[in-house]
Homo-oligomer: A and B are copies of this chain.
């Protein structure tokens, strides 16, 4: 991504194109895959991690980047219901409520059948839908 395009992208999201922000946008664009904060830290040695963090937060708030994770709190654990003790068979979608921050099991729903491109070997699938749970959307 060239300078002009980076400036254009930032401005179209109402973000002032400072030098640091341009570097971060270009790094994200160059990666062509999602990067974590620490991956960006390693790629961009000239900017402090707090600066990268603040830029990413700003980008997220202005819908320039989106975030890939499950819920907002870290890992959650759930009892397996399947009889198969070698594989997780009982996987189902989960719903994370952005208000009460609880995760719900959508047991009754099936995971979709995704056909992957050549070469990918799937093992498990996590599908998390975020929004408001029935209690919090009242």
Contacts and interface: CB of A to CB of B under 8 A. Distances in A.
Interface of A: 12-13, 25, 28-29, 32-40, 56, 59-60, 62-71, 73-80, 84-88, 91, 93-95, 98, 102-106, 108-109, 112, 114-135, 137
A69 B75 CA distance: 5
A75 B80 contact: no
Contacts of A114: 93, 109, 112, 127, 129
- Number of identical protomers: 2
Nearest to A97: B120
A77 B60 contact: yes
Instruction: Give 8 nearest A-B pairs by CB, closest first.
Output: A119-B134, A112-B112, A34-B76, A123-B131, A34-B78, A121-B132, A69-B70, A122-B131
